[in-house]
Amino acid sequence: MERTLQILNELEQRGVLSRYAIGGAMGATFYVEPILTFDLDIIVLLPETQGGLLTLAPLYGALRARGYAEEGECVVIEGVPVQFLPAYNPLLEEALREARDMRYQDSATRVLRVEHLLAICVQTGRAKDRERIRLIREQATVDHEYLAGILRRHRLEGRWKEWTA
């Protein structure tokens, strides 16, 4: 995965991505015991096109030019399936903006804060998200005041209470 992160950092430096951070199950592993996952979820902020639309085409083109192939909804980079998820709503935009700088072995990367990972799980609402919330609450250090602010701003307090009661 380290080489994958190096490629992502290079793409960010070249302006193909404006910003990225690790989310999903792989993001959670920076805070808790590893969770079974098959891909690396990368939340991205993409440069706007001339018409104002966001598109993954330049990113996929840059990766194809480096010899990386698409497989389903992922691009396999150095053997790691990577799913690029544009920050498409205010919660993801905030999570990306407030992501933490971290290290994976010798590579710099950014990871969504654990509180944002929890809020995204609540917003997404799948059964596996409910299980991820349980694991994170058991194993990670969570800033509950910070989390409460996120849940309030994004109107997720009711579902949070329902899921964690």
Per residue of the chain (165 residues), give pLDDT as tens.
899 999 999 999 998 998 999 999 899 989 998 776 788 999 998 877 777 677 888 899 999 999 999 999 999 999 999 999 999 899 999 999 999 999 999 999 999 999 999 999 999 999 989 999 999 999 999 999 999 999 999 999 999 999 998
Q: Which of the four CATH numbers 3.40.50.1820, 3.30.460.40, 3.30.70.580, 3.40.190.10 does domain 2-164 have?
A: 3.30.460.40
Q: Which of 1, 33, 10, 18 is nearest to 99 (CA)?
A: 18
The C-alpha atoms of residue 123 and residue 119 are separated, in whole angstroms, by 6
Quote the DSSP letter at residue 46.
Answer: P
Would you kindly state where each structural domain of the chain is located, as residue ranges?
2-164
Q: What angle do CA 143, 24, 40 make, to 5 degrees?
A: 135
Q: What sign results for the dihedral spanned by CA atoms 77, 83, 88, 90?
A: negative
